[in-house]
Amino acid sequence: MARTLPTEVVCVWEGGLFKTERVNGFFDAFKHVARAEGVRGLWKGAGTTLVIGVPSSSAYILTYDHLLNVVLPPLIPSQSAVPLFAGVIARSAITSIMSPLELLRTNLQSTPLSVDNPHTLRSVLTSFRTLVQQQGFTSLWRGLGPTLWRDVPFSGFYWASYETWKRNFAKYGYTGAWVAFLSGAISGTSAALITSPFDVLKTRQQALVMSASKNHVTRTLPLLVQLLRSEGTSALFTGIAPRIAKIAPACGIMIGCFEGVGKFLTKPS
């Protein structure tokens, strides 16, 4: 008998209750969240994302650039392999350092704003202190495994693809910020498709560790097995449409700005 694959689900807070609702794609999920939590719910955790994302992205891309142009070229003879290794090393280091803050962001986005949970600095620190007391200090890095499985291959593939696309454009005389944007968007889309299963595992794992119940499976491999058995292979690509919708322009804008600003700052006066 054929197996019916589950539709995608979206998690929302409605009337103080946490609910999962079945949706059909990105726009349906958009409507569910807006209806349950208002339009502001779509930007839940945006402030925390900026606080985490700006220094994290800055450190990441500067580390990559230094590895690409200074550290690795003398060590790796293959020109095409240098961006791959530079991306892998830079992402591994920055992701490991920022993992507790990523857990914080996931926690804020998956809990409702209320009088008892105002999402202030004090409430966040209290939540972290409780987590450490109950599950130990290493719990702040829970989800690092699948995060690395997602981000490290993504970064390596992205930068190798980006540098390849940029060189190919340059062969035909095309350069500039728009080339960087297009190369980044294409590479980001491809990398997002490849690493989607790890993104799903990371999100599930971090959401579970912040929940009150202790009966959830949170280790990576058992969680993967449970997910495949209960929801099927398609669950590993849940949310791929909004992820690509976010990653493609974000990758393009980030690298376009970096290349454009870099050329402006290094331009002879």
Domain boundary among 142, 172, 207: 142
Q: Which of 118, 142, 166 is the last residue of a domain?
A: 142
Q: Is residue 102 part of a domain?
A: yes
Nearest to 64 by CA among 266, 56, 7: 56
This prediction has a pTM of 0.68
Q: Report strand pairing: 8-14 vs 17-23.
A: antiparallel
Is 182 found in the same domain as 127?
A: no
Q: Helices 177-209 and 144-171 meet at what angle, rounded to 10? A: 170
Last residue of a domain, one of 97, 120, 142: 142
Spatial contact of 29 and 21, defined as CB atoms under 8 Å apart: no
Q: Would the CA dihedral through 60, 64, 70, 71 be positive or negative?
A: positive
Do residue 91 and residue 20 come from a single domain? Answer: no
Using DSSP's 3-state secondary structure scheme, residue 198 falls into helix
CA geometry: angle at 210 spanning 204 and 214, to 5°? Answer: 90
Residue pLDDT tens, the chain, 269 long:
333 334 455 555 555 545 555 656 566 666 766 676 667 666 766 666 777 778 888 899 999 999 999 999 999 988 889 999 999 999 999 999 988 877 777 666 555 555 455 555 566 677 778 778 888 888 788 778 777 888 899 999 999 999 999 999 999 999 888 999 999 999 999 999 988 888 888 777 766 655 555 556 666 677 788 888 888 888 888 888 888 988 999 999 989 988 888 888 777 76
Strand partners, 8: 23
Domain carrying residue 64? 45-142
Query: For residue 148, is it within any domain?
Result: no
Residue with tokens 């946490």: 18
* Dist. CA 260–CA 13, nearest whole Å: 41
In a domain, 229, yes or no: yes
Residue 25, sorted as left (phi over 0), alpha (psi -120 to 50) or beta, turns out to be left
2 Cβ contact list (under 8 Å, min separation 6): none
The sign one gets for the Cα dihedral 78, 193, 19, 33 is positive
Could you tell me the CA-to-CA distances from 223 to 54, 114, 117, 120, 213 in Å, in that order? 31, 30, 28, 31, 15
In a domain, 147, yes or no: no
Shared-domain flag, residues 60 and 39: no
Please indicate, yes or no, whether residues 161 and 134 belong to a single structural domain of this protein: no
Residue carrying structure tokens 């804008």:
253
Q: How many domains does the chain have?
A: 3
Residues 101 and 136 in one domain: yes
Answer yes or no: do 180 and 218 share one domain: yes
CA separation for the pair 216, 211 (Å, rounded): 9
Same domain, 132 and 38: no
- Same domain for 40 and 71: no
Asked whether residue 263 is domain-assigned, the answer is: yes
